Amino acid sequence: MKNIAFICLGNICRSPLAEGLARAAAVAAGLDVRFDSAGTGNWHVGRPPDPRAVAVAARHGVDIARLRARQVRPEDFQRFDLLLCADRDNLGALARLRPRDAVAEVGLLLDWAGVEAGGEVPDPYYGDDEEFLAVFDLLSRAARALIERIAEDSAATGRR
């Protein structure tokens, strides 16, 4: 797993937070994995993350201010090994977009990270700062668990 993209609806709250957190966790673990994020919707394309997401990340030493929203494209199914969705709506949207020659594995982030089977990252967009903090904490756990899983998988592959 070398190229991973996080997917949510707007690409301004959950997935840019996941991207920033996963990148930080990978650097801390010395893992060479590239991360990106995208939204299934196009309303916020070109915009920076939601100021509430930028603020909660900054308070915890993670800088996501320079990220810019983009929409998922068919090429993402070739460019990435893994597309990790925040919720089931995102998963459904990707199933509709998936080209025949797709190579990317697609799954729910919390599932894949082993944080919560079948779990979804709640959309904080219409919530308050407290909800952004709860989402940050959840994504922080997910990012660390994801990096641990990738590190274990690559160690196991190395031993084979």
**What residues are labeled active site?**
8, 14, 123
Spatial separation of the C-alpha atoms in residues 13 and 53, rounded to whole Å: 6
Return the number of the residue (66 or 160) whose C-beta is nearest ligand 4NP. 66
Spatial separation of the C-alpha atoms in residues 53 and 129, rounded to whole Å: 9
CB of 3 to ligand 4NP, least distance (A): 21
| 111 touches 119 (CB < 8 A) | yes
Among 4, 5, 13, 109, binds ligand 4NP (CB under 6 A): 13
Spatial separation of the C-alpha atoms in residues 57 and 132, rounded to whole Å: 9
CB of 81 to ligand 4NP, least distance (A): 22
Sheet holding 34-39, edge to edge: 34-39, 3-8, 82-85, 105-108
Residues 32-91 that bind ligand 4NP (CB under 6 A): 39, 43
Among 4, 5, 11, 109, binds ligand 4NP (CB under 6 A): 11
Residues that bind ligand 4NP (CB under 6 A): 8-14, 39, 43, 123, 125
